[in-house]
Amino acid sequence: MVRMRRLAVLRHDLPASLVVFLVAVPLSLGIALASGAPVVAGLIAAVVGGTVAGILGGSALQVSGPAAGLTVVMAETIQTFGWAVTCAITVAAGAVQILLGASRVARAALAISPAIVHGMLAGIGVTIVLGQVHVILGGKPHSSALANIAELPAQIVARHDAATVIGLLVIAILLVWPRLPQALRRVPGPLAAITVATAVSVLAGMTLPRVELPADLLNIRFTPQLPGGGWGAFAVAVLTIAVIASVESLLSAVAVDRLHTGPRANLNRELVGQGAANMVSGALGGLPVTGVIVRSSTNVAAGAKSRASAVLHGVWVLVFVVALAGVIQDIPLAALAGLLVHVGVKLVNPGHLKTVLAHGDLPVYLLTLGGVVVFDLLTGVLAGIGLAVVLMLRRTLWSGIHIERESTGPDGELWHVVVEGVLTFLSVPRLSRVLATVPAGARVRLDLVVDYLDHAAFESLHTWQHAHEAAGGTVEVDEIGHPWFANGKEGRPTRSRRAGAGFVPRWLAPWSAWQAAEVPAQPTHRGAAEFQRRTAPLLRDTLSGLADGQRPRTLFITCGDSRIVPNLITTSGPGDLFTIRNIGNLVPPGQADASMNASIEYAVGVLAVGEIVVCGHSSCGAMAALAAGPPPGPLTDWLTHAGPSARRSGPVTVDGTVPAREGDRLALQNVLQQLDHLREYPLVAEAEQAGRLRLTGMYFDVGRAQVHLYDPAARDFQAAGVPVGS
């Protein structure tokens, strides 16, 4: 195992760390310069972020270092406090992060909408591209994305030099690399592109900007210092940097998890690791450290498999900058810009755009993207969170209310009012406007398909119903789901939205559980009307495909007992089961019943079903009568076909236990006997022998609502869902 891990580090993490190192060095130098900090502070943060956060953090593939998202804040902090006090602020911010991680609040980042994460990634990608395109075109990036956009037309039409050639060469190599033979693709594309571009620029003698390093790279002359006063401003700066660094690191970790299929990040541990890295970086005179999506996405794209890549990248920043500064200084900035443009474009993933569009979150995505590009990362994320909360509240609290006039008959017009969703005081004004359009004296059917009904909404509905009925109209309230309104009228209002958790939907409950008391003699009429209103529109497409013929998969033979509902206990629908029902689920021996003969011949010979199920059940009246000996009459005549079942011997069990009641024991034997009778049919025997037909014994325990399937090897009916023979 240890040898395999070492091989994985050498094969994947080592080359990936070199690629990330090449990206990290210029970014670290640029962020330090943009922040107004000493140049070496950026490199210190890169080394500490890679090693300390890489070892202690909770995200295996996240790479940490100085981040562009803190540039503006750091510039203001340095200008206000000076560099030495800023280092102390960084140390204190790291301590705050450790406390936050220890309090286990970091997992709250998982609640952030994917649209915000994808929008953040896209915004960072757009910002990177807008800035680095200027470098490729031979210019310099500006401080804001808007300035980069404004200056881009002039930069495009200007004269282009060697930088453009090198930048485009890197992009071309990165685009072609995935299509090259496998042997070549063992070298990471970014590493190959930078190497080739650097070699071409050196061999061709091109004069263009390259990576610059200070001569006194390791000459650190500063240590953290506490301020002489202004502790309130100091505390605000500490909290600001801690919050921004934490949010950026956590969102980056969540985003990185979406880029790979490896272990998921431990966000609390990640926050502790980031805090420890900031304390070390500040103590050594470095910039604040965060998880950086640019380096992290590059790390994933380069093929990293473990945290070794992030740690090694920090080591390379230290070793290569000191020992091989000359080699690094040969790398053209345009080559790195081409690499960053490629990384930035990949962050704007069209697949993410399609996903958020399908989920109705496009406004959140676009606002986050725009906020990151126009302002900064934190502003964009906060704007996205704000809009997501507003949309969530709208979707949660907004009720669907509509009305239509259905018919005019001898009883007058029938007005159909449908209310869906959550009905609260926020929807009362609109509900009142809709109900006010119903003419006085009209018949009204009010369908309440609501997840929650608060007191204000109940009072509004109740008052309107009372007034409408007092004016000669009628109101039939039909609740689909938990009876919020009915409970309120009975003086037992429901207080919790969880109150409906045990409510049985009407399409599963018997008529007696939901039929109106005033029409007890007409359950079929009410049920037919319910089907026409609720179920028919949902099944119309399915039934239209079955209009010209049926194609059932199963012949289902069961008892006529009203408690057995074949489609319910098999979770099947129209066209799935060809059902035969009779007293005792019997298949008369010797093909003695013409009706059964015709049904089996049609099911097997014409419909070519692939399975025949014989389903018995507990508390079967036919089996109880057979065991007790029924009085003479038609039932006795019919049960003579069950004589072979009564004469069977040998125990048959249910989940390893013999039933206590004789009728239930006989019901088990009866199922097996009917399977034997089926095998006496030539069509059945031939199809089963050819492998085209399977015979299945089933037993339904009514009291436990449990389906059992027969295992011939164990002579046991086993609960459905338990592997047969286990």
94/430 Cα distance (integer angstroms):
51
pLDDT at 160 over 50: yes
For 620-672, the pLDDT digits (tens) are: 999 999 888 867 788 888 999 999 999 998 889 999 999 999 999 999 999 99
Per-residue confidence at 336, pLDDT binned at 50, 70, 90?
Answer: confident
Mean pLDDT of the region 50-58? 94
Tell me whether strands 694-701 and 611-617 are parallel, antiparallel or unpaired: parallel
* CA 512 – CA 489 distance, rounded (Å): 20
Name the more confident of 424 and 62. Answer: 62
Q: What is the pLDDT, as a whole number, of residue 724?
A: 41
Q: What does DSSP say about strands 577-582 and 554-559: parallel, antiparallel, or unpaired?
A: parallel
**Two structure tokens written together for 167:** 């930048």
Q: What is the pLDDT of residues 371-394, one digit of tens each?
A: 888 887 778 888 998 998 888 887
CA distances from 278 to 8, 11, 65 (A): 29, 31, 10
Percent of the chain predicted with pLDDT > 70: 87
Higher-pLDDT residue of 504, 291: 291
- pLDDT of the residue at 597: 94
Residue 257 has pLDDT above 70, yes or no: yes
pLDDT of residue 723: 45
* DSSP run (H or E) holding 625: helix 621-628
Q: Work out the pLDDT band at 3, boundaries 50, 70, 90.
A: low
**What would the mean pLDDT of 506-522 be, rounded to a whole number?**
56
418 in Cβ contact with 389 (< 8 Å): no
Task: Tell me the domains of the chain and their CATH numbers.
Answer: 2-348 (no CATH), 398-503 (3.30.750.24), 551-719 (3.40.1050.10)
Give pLDDT tens digits for 452-490.
888 888 899 999 999 999 998 888 887 776 666 777 777
Q: Considering the chain, what percentage of its residues have pLDDT values greater than 90? A: 33
pLDDT at 545 over 60: yes
**Residue 141 pLDDT exceeds 80:** no
Q: What mean pLDDT value characterizes the chain?
A: 84
**Taking 70 as the threshold, does the pLDDT of residue 503 lie above it?**
no
Q: CA 703, CA 617: separation in Å to the nearest integer? A: 10
Q: What pLDDT score was predicted for residue 333?
A: 81
Q: Does position 230 have pLDDT exceeding 50, yes or no?
A: yes
* pLDDT number for residue 312: 93
Q: Which two tokens stand for residue 355?
A: 């996903």
- Find all residues with CB under 8 Å of 655, minimum gap 6, and list them: 708, 716, 717, 718, 719
Instruction: Compute the distance between CA of residue 159 and CA of residue 569 in angstroms, rounded to an integer.
Output: 76
